[in-house]
Amino acid sequence: MTNVIEPAPPTLAATSDGRCFPVRRVFCVGRNYAAHAREMGRDPDREAPFFFTKWAEAVVPDGEEIAYPQATSNFHYEAELVLAIGTGGRNIAIGDALEHVWGYATGNDLTRRDLQLAARETGRPWDAGKNVEASAPLGLIHPASEVGHLSSGAIRLLVNDVVKQEADIADLIWSVPEIVSILSTFWRLEPGDLIFTGTPAGVGPIGPGDLVRVEIDGLTALTNTVGPAA
């Protein structure tokens, strides 16, 4: 059988031990730090977590320039801890959840905030605000066998060396095992899935020429520059 068009190549993320992690899907958790929920005008009342998605091809590696996207005048950074799923499963018990996490990485959930908020206020989908080209910068994925499973540690984001976000992943409203367990009740998790676990307070805009850096204790930092408008 002959393909009528060339199939898209898989997205390959890099691991800290020099291998590739083929990315299957990107799931993201909304509002998972109380102070960020408040800055977005919502109550951090531990209501059930909600999820949105990005295409795997939105992933871009450390060091790569990100073109400033079209159709926005308020493009925001969001520092996040990212989980890399190594073993799939449905209805995963909280007590078993960490067995499904192959590793951890720094990530940046880049967002057209103007379009996201417009969608939110009108009850429309978030895709145009969130599932943006090159909107999922991802640092090296460290295997849990190397760094352990992360439940605390500083997370911070700097724009041009100025700290904009600083928190601790112990402050996640929904923990890593809870996120994996709850997400797996909506979709069967598959090897290669990434989960962006939510951002702390302090989100804000970036523009062409900015240098954006995400740091999480124990993981390799993630640094990207913002290029000219696409």
**Whole-number minimum distance, CB 146 to Mn ion, in Å?**
25
Whether residue 213 contacts residue 157, with contact meaning beta carbons closer than 8 Å, is answered with yes
Q: How many CB atoms lie within 10 A of CB 149?
A: 14
Instruction: Report the distance separating Cα 145 and Cα 213, nearest Å.
Output: 25
**Whole-number minimum distance, CB 52 to Mn ion, in Å?**
9
x/- string (CB under 5 A) for Mn ion, residues 153-192? Answer: ----------------------------------------
x/- string (CB under 5 A) for Mn ion, residues 65-94? Answer: -------------x----------------
Q: Return the structure tokens found at 126.
A: 């978030």
Strands 66-68 and 222-229: parallel
Dihedral angle sign, alpha carbons of residues 98, 156, 38, 29: negative
Q: Return the structure tokens found at 83.
A: 């989980």
Instruction: Report the distance separating Cα 162 and Cα 34, nearest Å.
Output: 23
Tell me how many degrees the CA angle 190-192-198 measures, rounded to the nearest 5: 95
Asked whether position 129 contacts Mn ion by CB under 5 A, the answer is: no
**Whole-number minimum distance, CB 79 to Mn ion, in Å?**
9
Task: For Mn ion, give the closer residue by CB, 78 or 215.
Answer: 78
Q: Which stretch binds Mn ion (CB under 5 A): 92-100, 142-150, 196-204, 220-228?
A: 196-204
**Whole-number minimum distance, CB 110 to Mn ion, in Å?**
9
Asked whether position 199 contacts Mn ion by CB under 5 A, the answer is: yes
Task: For Mn ion, give the closer residue by CB, 31 or 143.
Answer: 31
Asked whether position 215 contacts Mn ion by CB under 5 A, the answer is: no
Q: How many CB atoms lie within 10 A of CB 41?
A: 8
Of 137, 182, 130, 157, nearest to 23 by C-alpha is 137
Query: Which residue's CB comes closest to Mn ion?
Result: 109
Task: For Mn ion, give the closer residue by CB, 30 or 143.
Answer: 30
**Of 109, 138, 142, 176, which lies in the binding site for Mn ion, with binding defined by CB under 5 A?**
109
Task: For Mn ion, give the closer residue by CB, 135 or 199.
Answer: 199
Total length of the chain: 230
Q: Point out which residues bind Mn ion (CB under 5 A).
A: 78, 109, 199
